């Protein structure tokens, strides 16, 4: 199964003519999940050709305006479109109260089915934010000026059957017995005993981690360990490392060193300060430490 990520906004606090503020869209098996929802996110979705009515979950990293200011408009739009689902919103400590305040700022013409989940990972540890039979989302607290959450998406391993081998060796075709084998059950077929180990193999699930606004901290490599993809804020270059430290952000080089420490396969940088006209310097400084680095731009797509 393919996980596709679309960067709907790659700037920091102030949108520019080239970069909208933060939002990343995940598409998997027709389900859309948003990570942050900055100003203009629903318009960016429209331009990218995504139906806003397919969003089922929104994971907020923190409550700074460039990460949440598009949320109320998106909620109003999708529920005015005849949305038949419950929208789940996840976020750090304070999210329930802030969502109550946010909903009071507008009048809703249609009934809103909205469930808010507040996440408070234990200090120095990760915790599960969401899990179903297909994937799990872990989270950890970051080091920023307000409660801030990083997320990791892990697909679960999938069991597959080598149908060519199963037919050649056992005469087995698709059907209920195949389903039982995939569930780990041993079956009998034409007098033969077939175990899952005889015909099954595992396909490893994919993973990515999103590191939002934060200063350097030890939880980043812990959460990101061996991920297929790490997406990280890189607000500053080495020239402005002092500002990164002051405002609890990362430089591109720091993000790359953390990716190296975590042993991830790929790194994509985002959340660039409006002071930079391009991301060339960020990319050059990051690749010194982690060669497989890319710099995102609005509507940049990555398959995991």
Q: Which of 20, 33, 86 is nearest to 210 (CA)?
A: 33
Active site residue 36: no
Whether 212 contacts 150, CB under 8 Å: yes
Choose the catalytic residue: 36, 66, 198, 228.
Answer: 66
H or E element at residue 119: strand 114-119
Residues 180, 182, 187, CA angle at the centre, nearest 5°? 40
DSSP 289: T
Rounded distance, CA 67 to CA 59, Å? 10
CA distances from 130 to 102, 152, 154 (A): 23, 10, 11
Rounded distance, CA 55 to CA 62, Å? 19
Helix (H, G, I), strand (E, B) or coil at 137: strand
Helix (H, G, I), strand (E, B) or coil at 290: coil
Please give the full DSSP string across 37-72, using - where no structure is assigned: --TTHHHHHHHHT--GGGEEEEE-S--SHHHHTTHH
Active site residue ranges: 66
């Amino acid at each position: 199964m393919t996980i596709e990520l679309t960067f709907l906004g790659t700037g920091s606090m102030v949108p520019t003519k080239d970069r909208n503020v933060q939002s990343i869209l995940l598409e998997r098996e027709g389900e859309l999940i948003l990570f942050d929802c900055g100003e203009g996110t629903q318009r960016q979705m429209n331009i990218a050709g995504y139906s806003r009515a397919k969003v089922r979950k929104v994971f907020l990293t923190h409550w700074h305006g460039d990460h949440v200011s598009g949320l109320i408009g998106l909620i109003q739009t999708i529920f005015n479109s005849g949305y038949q689902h419950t929208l789940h919103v996840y976020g750090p400590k304070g999210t329930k109260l802030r969502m109550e305040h946010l909903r009071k700022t507008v009048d809703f013409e249609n009934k809103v089915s909205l469930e808010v989940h507040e996440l408070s990972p234990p200090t120095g540890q990760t915790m599960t934010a969401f899990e179903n039979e297909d994937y799990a989302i872990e989270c950890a607290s970051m080091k920023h000026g307000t409660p801030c959450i990083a997320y990791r998406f892990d697909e679960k391993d999938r069991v597959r059957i080598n149908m060519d081998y199963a037919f050649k060796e056992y005469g087995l075709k698709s059907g209920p017995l195949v389903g039982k084998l995939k569930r780990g059950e041993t079956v009998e077929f034409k007098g033969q005993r077939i175990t899952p180990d005889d015909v099954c193999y595992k396909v490893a699930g994919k993973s990515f981690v999103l590191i939002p606004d934060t200063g350097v901290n030890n939880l980043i490599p812990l959460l990101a360990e061996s991920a297929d993809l790490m997406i990280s804020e890189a607000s500053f270059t080495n020239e402005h490392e002092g500002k990164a430290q002051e405002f609890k952000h990362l430089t591109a080089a720091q993000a790359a060193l953390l990716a190296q420490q975590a042993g991830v396969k790929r790194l994509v940088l985002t959340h660039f300060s409006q002071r930079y006209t391009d991301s060339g310097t960020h990319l050059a400084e990051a690749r010194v430490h982690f060669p497989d680095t890319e710099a995102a731009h609005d509507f940049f797509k990555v398959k995991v």
